[in-house]
Structure 1
Amino acid sequence: MTSQQSQHDKTPSLPDAYAAAASVATGKRNAAVLAVCQGLFTCAISIDLTLTALTGWQLAPDKSLATLPFALITVAGAVVTWFAAFLIQRLGRRLSFALGAASCCAGGLISVWSVFHGHFWTFCAGTALVGVFQAFAQYYRLAAADAVTDEFKSRAISTVLTGGVIAAIIGPALAAWSKDLFPAALFSGAYLVVAAMGLLSVLVLLLFYRDMAALPAATGVQAAHAPPRPLGAIVRTPVFVASVANNVAGSMIMMFIMTAAPLAAVACHHGIDDGAAIIQWHLIGMYAPSFFAGRLIKRFGLGAVLLAGLALNLACAVTAMASTSLPAFYAALLFLGVGWNFSLVGGTTLLAQSYAPSERAKTQGFSELLRYGATALATLGAGPLLARFGWETLNAAILPVLLLCALATGRWMLAERANRPQALRGLG
């Protein structure tokens, strides 16, 4: 075969070029649609974050159960997330995501009925259904990453998370506006807004989202035509371990500190409104970096951004241990939010590079199950540990988690550095 023939064989045909361009366009469109859905989800969940503990206190037959409805959001999400991955594989993302959003609509309506009739246990069922929605919504960023090549995965993930920026501001404001919508049943109006967010998500997904095949990662996994590896083989790879370490540590630490922060602020003689403002500032920190996190990864490298996320979480702990002043709370929770964003965007980028398309469901499901399980434990444990050990000790407790995450990230970076010369030799 002549060199001209070889070059001709490598050149894509015109139909292939059109198909590739259409695939890229669909991937970008889907990322934008999922950003809107992420915003609707964040609005719904921020309303629950703001009011559910208060509603639980109002309805609970035993006040020790007041935080159960809120905890059930995370617990239900942890239970459902594994099964959601396989349902997505079977039904496709469009229909599966719409079913998840429909559960939010149902949960919101059940919560409205429960508040009107003073039923605590049906209110728990309503918040659990919102947890089901949360489980499906966590796959939005992975769906965006799977639809593009390795070069654009972090950018697609960031695009989806930008949907939370405006919602982080609007959500608490919606909660404050809607809680008195029906004076006869305090807080019921807020849960009607939660139902509306779910219904809007269903409509957006069914009208604008398009299912498309996942693209194989260019590095880190076997060829796309090879048989699927056992889950045990996947989870032992440095890229998977580093992805889980950053996703789990980032989410676990974020929920652990965020859950306790408003209570700690009040205990340190700051006002209830100060606690709410701290959380709102934290939510902005969580989502605002999505506008530039993908570009930072492209410019400085994935490893550098992951280490920056760990450093910001460390800065949160150090700031919180050094002072309990109101500016220190604001700074610590801002560091925490940005650190979570870098860890999640970077960790998700790694996760999307750790599997072939045939391995997607079990790998994503197992990773999200670990992340949700750790987050549920952090949510449930934050209040009791704060009450027993205090705010400073609570922040000190995250330091060993950060160390383990740094070790896993460093191991992956060393493995990547060792594999790079081999890849270059293969190209030669």
Structure 2
Amino acid sequence: MRFSSPAGSPGGSRNAAILALCQGLFTCAISIDLTLTALTGWQLAPDKALATLPFALITVAGAVVTWFAAFLIQRLGRRWSFVLGAASCCAGGLISVWSVWHGQFWTFCVGTALVGVFQAFAQYYRLAAADAVAEAAKSRAISTVLAGGVIAALVGPALAAWSKDWFPAALFAGAYLVVALMGLLSVVVLVLFYRDQAEPSTAAQSQAELAPARPLSAIAHTPVFMASVANNVAGSMVMMFIMTAAPLAAVACHHGIDDGAAIIQWHLVGMYAPSFFAGRLIQRCGLGPVLLAGLGMNLGCAIIAMLSTTLPAFYVALLLLGVGWNFMFVGGTTLLAQSYTPSERAKTQGLAELMRYAATALATLGAGPLLARFGWETLNAAILPVLLVSALATLRWMWAQRGGRTALAAGLR
């Protein structure tokens, strides 16, 4: 079932631009935390076996909160829910500064967990932009929000390197102060400029909203929801799986540590730069072909990585991985926004994001051990079944769409 509307609300495009700015601030904050938290944890941990716990808590807290965030957004509205998420980043950054300054490991864990809470709320920026516009404009609204991460993805690690030595008596404290500042700026932008928008509606959609909300199990079995989750989950899982292992694999293949960092920067460009045109590409070529193109690029990444371990092969493979993720993520989110009525939004979005978070966390945790045990080529081969499942779900949705159009055309004759 699809729910469409011919026109977006007047402030939809303005809100998308504001959320793009917030996405940029979020990406800066989270990239600083992801760059330095493992090192800070090693510095503060009373037992070095606990050194990665603060890093893991970013993902764990995000996964736990994401389900509840969907219902809080429904209750409080997007504006104040997003403000609450950004305020948690500010608090988390300040707690991290205090913890580093005083050498307190466990309060540092609280600080990184609060940044994970911010991450959970920020994941709904793209969905908020999609919900405020017509179906034809959803992919462009999602792309606009993700485009906010392009510069931030590259600036964030540089900010971390620049600010970590601000306070010589407390290494890394300056960087976490910047994290707090990113959260504070997000609060200011959201309070001053963002406004909740009434969703566009048609007579058909208004009639659908009068019907009882479907059970979550019924929504989850629709082709559109299954295709959306398959692309969002598979795209994010594969991306994190390969990206996490790539720097380690590059060093193991006798490339330099700096080469590993440069490969990831190139990958980040691939992840976010297509956001400037992915929405228009979907409008021009169709959602199905763009999703399949994203899957094809992920397949290309795996094939290149299995055939060669030269430095150019790493660059090309990780670039294809980034672009493929973008196409699958923008397309999958567009499908997700078509899969529910407003009364079904919270539980549908919450389930989809929880599944994505859980799969991403498993991929992140499993990449290192699998790389060490089986090697880079086998690691890339392992993503092929995941891509196959996603392709089958996408083709099933495309077939259902084609069948629906054929039935409609027959009824008009």
Structure-1-length-normalised TM-score:
0.92
**What amino acid sits opposite 1:353 in the alignment?**
Q
Structure 1 residue 28, shift from structure 2 partner: 0.7
Structure 1 residue 422, shift from structure 2 partner: 2.1
| Alignment partner, residue 199 of structure 2 | 214
1:128-151 Cα offsets, whole Å, 9 max, x none, are 111100000000000000001111
* Residue correspondence of structure 1 range 132-211 to structure 2 within 5 A: 132-211=117-196
2:384 counterpart of 1:394:
no
* Residue correspondence of structure 1 range 8-407 to structure 2 within 5 A: 24-215=9-200, 223-407=208-392
Write the distance in 2 (CA, Å) between the matches of 1:386 and 1:86. 38
Structure 1 residue 228, shift from structure 2 partner: 0.8
Write the distance in 2 (CA, Å) between the matches of 1:196 and 1:222. 45
**What amino acid sits opposite 1:292 in the alignment?**
F
Task: Give secondary structure in 2 for the equivalent of 1:25.
Answer: coil
Write the distance in 2 (CA, Å) between the matches of 1:401 and 1:149. 31
Write the distance in 2 (CA, Å) between the matches of 1:271 and 1:395. 21
Write the distance in 2 (CA, Å) between the matches of 1:407 and 1:243. 12
Please, what is the CA RMSD of the aligned residues?
1.9
Conservation of the 8 A alpha-carbon contact between 2:8 and 2:200:
no
Structure 1 residue 222, shift from structure 2 partner: 7.7
1:101-129 Cα offsets, whole Å, 9 max, x none, are 11111111111111112222221111111
Conservation of the 8 A alpha-carbon contact between 2:6 and 2:136:
no
Structure 1 residue 67, shift from structure 2 partner: 2.0
Change (3 A) 1:298 1:62: same
Write the distance in 2 (CA, Å) between the matches of 1:403 and 1:339. 14
Task: Give secondary structure in 1 for the equivalent of 2:166.
Answer: coil
Write the distance in 1 (CA, Å) between the matches of 2:206 and 2:274. 29
Write the distance in 1 (CA, Å) between the matches of 2:54 and 2:218. 38
**What amino acid sits opposite 1:350 in the alignment?**
L
Write the distance in 1 (CA, Å) between the matches of 2:217 and 2:108. 39
Structure 1 residue 238, shift from structure 2 partner: 0.3
Structure 1 residue 224, shift from structure 2 partner: 2.5
Residues matched between the structures, number: 409
Write the distance in 1 (CA, Å) between the matches of 2:7 and 2:386. 43
Task: Give secondary structure in 1 for the equivalent of 2:11.
Answer: helix
1:314-342 Cα offsets, whole Å, 9 max, x none, are 11111211222222211111111111100
Structure 1 residue 182, shift from structure 2 partner: 1.1
Conservation of the 8 A alpha-carbon contact between 1:250 and 1:344:
yes
Structure 1 residue 271, shift from structure 2 partner: 2.0
Structure 1 residue 277, shift from structure 2 partner: 1.5
Write the distance in 1 (CA, Å) between the matches of 2:212 and 2:92. 40
Structure-2-length-normalised TM-score:
0.95
Task: Give secondary structure in 1 for the equivalent of 2:9.
Answer: helix
Structure 1 residue 398, shift from structure 2 partner: 0.6
Change (3 A) 1:21 1:407: closer
Structure 1 residue 399, shift from structure 2 partner: 0.7
Conservation of the 8 A alpha-carbon contact between 2:9 and 2:200:
no
Write the distance in 1 (CA, Å) between the matches of 2:211 and 2:352. 22
Conservation of the 8 A alpha-carbon contact between 2:214 and 2:344:
yes
Write the distance in 2 (CA, Å) between the matches of 1:232 and 1:251. 23
| Alignment partner, residue 13 of structure 1 | none
Task: Give secondary structure in 1 for the equivalent of 2:380.
Answer: helix
Change (3 A) 1:365 1:180: same
Conservation of the 8 A alpha-carbon contact between 1:76 and 1:131:
yes
Change (3 A) 1:218 1:287: farther
**What amino acid sits opposite 2:179 in the alignment?**
V
